[in-house]
Amino acid sequence: MKRVALIIQYNGSHFSGWQRQKNAISVQETIEIALFEVSNQIIRTFAAGRTDAGVHASGQVVHFDIEFVIPSDRYADVLNSRLPKTIRILESVEVKNSWHACYSSVYRHYRYLINNSKIPNLFLNNWSWHRYQKSLDEFSMSNALDGMIGEHDFFAFQKTGSNRATSVTTIKSIELERSEDLIMIDIKATGFLYGMVRSIVGQLVLVGEKKITPEIFKDRWVSKKKYDVRESAPANGLCFVNSIYEENIFKRINKNDLFPKFVIRGYS
């Protein structure tokens, strides 16, 4: 029996999320079916993070245990030949039996993309939130993020239905960057609450549209005013970029193979 780790990209538009569900198609089920086809074994996969319906991944990390003769570095090619084009395995490697895709993770990285253009863009529609009603003030949005780094109780940004024992987590970094009409919000944390990133982005957009102040934004999460956090960003703008571990187990992949930042330059 050996443990194999995969780094995976998928277009979440076509799936009900990562986790298996009774009456919907999930990424987990699709991969486990492919594993059964190549091994004739019922294999259970474990992911670094559970993405919701419609959320994408550029570097989801998964592991599974299997008793089979295929070399570990061949699983990517073998499974890709059986998976839909909406899922792609970038690399497969063998890891220690004590290594775990979720529990061995030091932190996870999510990115949210907002298209603030007045005109919709066919090439961005499935990957961003087209928020065009007002020009967003990215400086006020950035100011609202002050004080979020570190260990805090983010209960206000946790959607109902979470089974976590605590709403305390640690944000390692949070950055907001604008390139022309595109606004990217990058959050790295040791763990994410259910619906946390989309709730944060929904509230940040209110700040950017001058509907609430940065001070109100901060008061809502510091004072755990969950009843005031009603707006949440749609799923299609959110991407699980990657999961970071103490040891870099994927040797062939670099950050530009995952979700490179958009840089838009003017025409001369």
Report yes or no: 17 and 58 within 8 Å, Cβ to Cβ.
no
The closest alpha carbon to 29, from 15, 49, 9, belongs to 15
- Number of Cβ within 10 Å of residue 120's Cβ equals 11
pLDDT, tens digit, 9 for 90 and up, residues 162-181 = 778 899 999 999 999 999 99
- Number of Cβ within 10 Å of residue 103's Cβ equals 9
Q: Which pair of structure tokens corresponds to residue 56?
A: 């994408």
Task: Give the distance, in angstroms, between the CA of residue 241 and the centroid of all CA atoms in the same chain.
Answer: 5
User: Assign residue 31 a region: left if phi > 0, alpha if psi is -120 to 50, beta otherwise?
Assistant: alpha
Alpha carbons 134 and 99: distance in angstroms, whole number: 47
> What DSSP state is assigned to residue 142?
H
**Alpha carbons within 13 A on the beta-carbon side of 36:** 10
| Phi, psi dihedral angles at 206 (to 5 degrees) | -60, -40
**By percentage, how much of the chain surpasses pLDDT 90?**
87
What CATH topology corresponds to 106-240? Alpha-Beta Plaits (3.30.70)
Q: For domain 2-104, is the CATH number 3.30.750.24? A: no
Q: Is 228 a catalytic residue?
A: no
Report whether pLDDT(92) > 60: yes
Task: Give the distance, in angstroms, between the CA of residue 171 and the centroid of all CA atoms in the same chain.
Answer: 14
Summarize the confidence of residues 54-80 as an average pLDDT.
94
Alpha carbons 221 and 211: distance in angstroms, whole number: 17
Report yes or no: 258 and 59 within 8 Å, Cβ to Cβ.
yes
> According to CATH, where is 3.30.70.580 located in the chain?
2-104
What is the bridge-based pairing of β-strands 238-245 and 56-66?
Answer: parallel
Read off the pLDDT band of 225 (50, 70, 90).
Answer: very high
Q: Which pair of structure tokens corresponds to residue 50?
A: 């559970």
> What DSSP state is assigned to residue 64?
E
> According to CATH, where is 3.30.70.660 located in the chain?
106-240
pLDDT, tens digit, 9 for 90 and up, residues 109-130 = 999 999 999 999 999 999 999 9
The closest alpha carbon to 5, from 90, 109, 106, 80, belongs to 90
Q: What is the largest CA-CA distance in the chain?
A: 59
Calculate the alpha carbon distances from 82 to 7, 23, 27, 75, 257 in Å: 16, 22, 13, 11, 22
Among 99-103, 174-178, 192-196, 261-265, which stretch is predicted with the lowest mean pLDDT?
A: 261-265
